[in-house]
Amino acid sequence: MSKKDVKKNASQIATLKKVLPYIKPYTGFFILTIVLALLSVISALYLPILTGDAVDLIKYLADGKMPLGETWIAFTSSMFW
């Protein structure tokens, strides 16, 4: 790291130390925000998997390989186990 980068990091840390006392009363909201952001990312990454499973299920039903009742039981049991 160059001296400029070290100075910039030190400046950012100093600024963060100045701001932290103002954030402290809102710690619960800050943690909630981080948790909700993580849930948002996880759901955004998981949605294409669910969509692919739904497409595979529709294709499987269209091929007539399994009746709808059995398909529903197989699909729901595979989702939760």
Question: pLDDT digits over 21-75, tens only?
Answer: 998 999 999 899 999 999 999 999 999 988 888 888 778 777 777 666 666 666 6
H helices within the chain, ranges in order? 3-23, 27-62, 68-80
In the predicted structure, residue 80 carries a pLDDT above the cut 60: no
* Residue boundaries of the structural domains of the chain: 3-80
- The single-letter DSSP state of residue 66 is S
pLDDT at residue number 78: 61
pTM of the model: 0.51
